[in-house]
Structure 1
Amino acid sequence: MTVNSGRNQMFDKAAREESLDGTTWYAWEIEENDGGWLLTYVDVLSVILAMLVVLLGQMAVQHLQTTNEDSRMAASYEAVPSDEPTIEVQQPQPSIQTDVESVPTPTIDAETRLVAAIEDRFQDEVKVVQRDKGISLEIADVILFDSGKAELLAEAQPVLKRLAVTLQEIGKADIAVEGHTDDRPILGGRFQSNWELAAARANAVTRFLLDQGFAPKHLRSVSYADAHPVADNSNPNGRAENRRVNLRVEFLK
């Protein structure tokens, strides 16, 4: 086989060889400066490109599988209702502190108004005594009764009427009518002792208040005789103070 010499001008070096069968062939030696490295570089790039294609293909397949799995899990959660109770978490509300002035209770307010009304309307006829529980209105026996008697005097009725109106204006209350005497024993007459006299006087005032419209369930009469003196029984003035009728008033809430 003959090779044209013009075609061989493109090669720097060539070696002519003959085989045993008489065939002629040529081998070329490519030097380093003739661009042999370029072939190796192209081969490496080809291998890298092939690897990238394979990796990208695997990643695409894995992403598709993951997406399908997530879709199946989401569908299963939506399809199966949960038996667990729903827990609602509430944010704690900030505490608000305000300065609130103390408001008087209705009973204290009523007692204050009653004291003011008694002092304004009755002067010396009715005396106000503050108690641990409620207010006591004290009326001397000389305003209400004759000595040793339990019938109300005519001049006592206007006082009791004004007192009844005042109490009704202030508000509803439980009223205990208390009869008190001095310690001198009763000699003869209608009553056997100071207990009967004090009870009869308390009953007389209670009946008068009933006639003025007070409810029976809010009234009661009590006899203390000489058991609760407020003054010394050894002198006339002291004994006069001890002979009295008290109205213990406790306003309803």
Structure 2
Amino acid sequence: MVSQSSDGPLNDISWYQWESDNTDANWLLTYVDVLSVILAMLVVLLGQMAVRQMQPIEEQNQIASTYSQLETPVPATIPQPTEVVEETPSQSQPDNSAVTRLTAAIEQRFDDEVKVVQRELGVSLEIADVILFHSGKAELLPEAQPVLSRLAMTLQEIGEADIAVEGHTDDRPILGGPFQSNWELAAARANAVTRFLLDQGFSPKHLRSVSYADSQPVADNSNAGGRAENRRVNLRVDFL
């Protein structure tokens, strides 16, 4: 019995001793756990700090890239020249029937008083100055008015036309009188014929007066016959 009782307490003591040793070592495990948690927290904190430090750098890079994009010159678009095609008004071809009828009428009615000159467009009616004016003058002669009246009536019979009244002279200079040069004399003579046609009912929008002076001679000015041919009034007729 004694041995059993002695074995019992010994067994109890050894068991207690083992329990107490394990209990003393358990705090190490708890300490390690605490250190692990602390280290984990430090890692998290360091990660957050690194992220916060990187964010301003990224924002600065984004701002810098934005400014660089704004400062990059945008290539200007050079407008291509647009070719403008100017439409040239088609020149109306002369009414051949009207030209033929006018030519025939002038030849029948005026003998040598009015000369018909064919042109590319229309015709030109040439009247010598001796029929219309005194030398160096721009007032129509009384005998010129019947000729111009018949000419106006003939033109109105043929049809509507644009008429340019052209004054021409020879190359001899003007000496005294109301005109300073052949330009003024030719202009005054063309104006006198134009006014007469206006009085005969021609539309002002179809009449114009032009002075050529001695710039368009049709004969040699070195002789009297040539100078006489150059002193003239022409009616350039373009039928509409």
Structure 2 length-normalised TM: 0.61
Q: 1:173 aligns with which of 137, 158, 161?
A: 161
**Equivalent residue in structure 1 for 2:199, among 211, 225, 231:** 211
Residue identity in the other structure for 1:164: A
Task: Please give the alpha-carbon distance, in whole angstroms, between the structure 2 residues aligned to 1:188 and 1:152.
Answer: 20
Matched residues, number: 148
Residues 59-80 of structure 1: per-residue CA shift (max 9 Å, x gap): xxxxxxxxxxxxxxxxxxxxxx
Matches within 5 A, 1:1-253: 107-252=95-240
Say if 2:94 and 2:121, in contact at 8 Å, map to a contact too.
no
Matches of 1:106 and 1:208 in 2, distance apart?
25
Seen in structure 2, the aligned counterparts of structure 1 residues 223 and 106 have a Cα distance that, compared at 3 Å, is closer
4+ aligned runs moved over 2 Å, structure 1: none
Cross-structure match for 1:99: none
Q: What secondary structure sits across from 1:199 in the alignment?
A: helix
Pick closer, same or farther for the CA change 1:189–1:128 going to 2, 3 Å. Answer: same
The higher-RCO structure (CA 8 Å, 6+ apart) is 2
Classify 1:121/1:110 alpha carbon distance in 2 versus 1 (closer, same or farther; 3 Å).
Answer: same
> What are structure 1's unaligned runs of at least 5 residues?
1-104
CA deviation vs aligned residue, 1:34-72 (integer Å, no higher than 9, x gap): xxxxxxxxxxxxxxxxxxxxxxxxxxxxxxxxxxxxxxx
For 2:238 and 2:157, the matched residues in 1 are separated by 14
How high is the TM-score relative to the length of structure 1? 0.58
Deviation at 1:154, TM superposition (A): 0.1
Q: Taking structure 1 as reference, are residues 122 and 164 closer, same or farther at Cα in structure 2, changes over 3 Å only?
A: same
Deviation at 1:133, TM superposition (A): 1.4
Q: Which moved more, 1:105-114 or 1:225-234?
A: 105-114
- The CA distance in 1 between the partners of 2:116 and 2:94, in whole Å, is 19
Provide the identity percentage: 84
- What CA deviation, in whole Å up to 9, does each residue of 1:198-236 have, x standing for no partner? 000000000000000000000000000000000000000
Q: Which structure has more helix as a fraction of its residues?
A: 2
Partner amino acid, structure 2, of 1:166: T
Distance in 2 (CA, whole Å) between partners of 1:204 and 1:106 is 27
Equivalent residue of 1:160, what SS?
helix
The CA deviation at 1:106 is 7.3
Q: Secondary structure at the match of 1:245?
A: strand
Contact kept in structure 1, 2:169 and 2:232, CA below 8 Å: yes
Q: Which digits, 9 at most, give the CA deviation of each residue in 1:95-135, with x for residues without a partner? A: xxxxxxxxxx8711100000000000000000000011110
TM-align CA RMSD: 0.9
Unaligned runs of 5+ in 2: 1-92
